């Protein structure tokens, strides 16, 4: 079972940060957010990754191509033309496939383009900007139980605005963030059968969310795994700051390593 990561978007709401690097490479602490996502899945035994590249994909490609050099103490002996690493790291069992799926391709096209790298009937799919404490093993088991083509993780997004409660024209309380479970969105962290690929094309305009998922929902082929725990995405500058604050303060809910 492999994890497919959609990492080709431009991240326009983070334009100040994405001038030089793509959105998946924006750092939380000392590592890019895509690394945090991969580390989380690796905690559940998922060590094979397919990354769909697009905008500034060369930055992601160079990061993983030089990962050992960037994350290890080493000695370079120029007289012997040798490079010696001084310790191993937990990611050494990772297998990362990097695929250029085009700068302008929509997500459906990107998924279809990596079809030849999928060996198993069931695989995982996620975006490159979302973090959660969802139990991946339970998610996979739920997908198998429901026997649908796709399972999405339904999450309650944090409110962008504070809320008030009022009675008879008087404010009763202020709430910084909404805690209502009435609003649910697709938080990523998906599981899919290879049957999904029959609905996709490599055409750049093949839209995964607006077209394919709507079709599958009409045919009752999408299961919803409701996650009541933590979830957050790096959608804008404020999100990037908050995720870094959580990590630096030791409150990173996704950190399982």
Q: Residue 257 falls within a domain, yes or no? A: no
How far is residue 173's CA from residue 167's CA, in Å, rounded to a whole number?
10
Burial bucket for residue 231 (CB in 10 Å: 0-12, 13-18, 19+) = buried
Convert the pLDDT of each residue in 129-170 to its tens digit. 999 999 999 999 999 999 999 999 999 877 665 565 656 656
Q: Residue 114 falls within a domain, yes or no? A: yes
CATH of the domain at 83: 3.90.550.10
Q: Residue 54 falls within a domain, yes or no? A: yes
- Domains identified in the chain, total number: 1
Convert the pLDDT of each residue in 193-245 to its tens digit. 999 999 999 999 999 999 999 999 999 999 999 999 999 999 999 999 999 99
Q: Give the chain's mean pLDDT.
A: 91
Q: Residue 167 falls within a domain, yes or no? A: no
Q: What confidence score (pLDDT) does residue 253 get?
A: 97
Convert the pLDDT of each residue in 89-137 to its tens digit. 788 899 999 999 999 999 999 999 999 999 999 999 999 999 999 999 9
Q: Residue 169 falls within a domain, yes or no? A: no
Q: What confidence score (pLDDT) does residue 184 get?
A: 83
pTM for the model: 0.90
Convert the pLDDT of each residue in 25-40 to its tens digit. 999 999 999 999 999 9
Domain that holds residue 198: 3-156+183-248
């Amino acid at each position: 079972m492999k994890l497919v990561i959609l990492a080709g978007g431009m991240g326009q709401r983070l334009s100040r940060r994405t001038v030089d690097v793509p959105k998946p490479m924006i750092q939380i602490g000392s590592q890019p957010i895509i690394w945090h996502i991969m580390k989380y899945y690796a905690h559940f035994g998922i060590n094979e990754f397919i990354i769909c590249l697009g905008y500034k994909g060369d930055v992601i490609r160079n990061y993983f191509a030089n990962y050992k050099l960037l994350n290890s103490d080493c000695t370079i002996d120029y007289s012997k033309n040798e490079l010696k690493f001084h310790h191993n790291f937990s990611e050494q069992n990772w297998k990362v496939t990097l695929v250029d799926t085009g700068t302008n391709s929509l997500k459906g096209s990107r998924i279809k383009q990596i079809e030849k790298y999928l060996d198993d009937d069931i695989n995982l799919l996620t975006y490159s900007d979302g973090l959660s404490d969802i139990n991946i093993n339970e998610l996979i088991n739920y997908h198998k139980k429901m026997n649908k083509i796709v399972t999405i993780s339904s999450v309650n997004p944090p409110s962008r605005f504070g809320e008030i409660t009022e009675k008879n024209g008087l404010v009763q309380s202020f709430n910084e963030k909404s805690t209502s479970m009435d609003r649910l969105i697709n938080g990523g962290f998906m599981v899919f059968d290879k049957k999904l690929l029959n609905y996709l094309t490599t055409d750049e305009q093949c839209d995964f969310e607006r077209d394919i998922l709507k079709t599958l929902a009409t045919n009752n082929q999408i299961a919803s795994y409701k996650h009541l725990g933590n979830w957050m995405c790096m959608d804008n500058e404020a999100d990037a700051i908050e995720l870094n604050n959580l990590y630096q303060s030791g409150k990173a809910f996704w950190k399982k390593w």
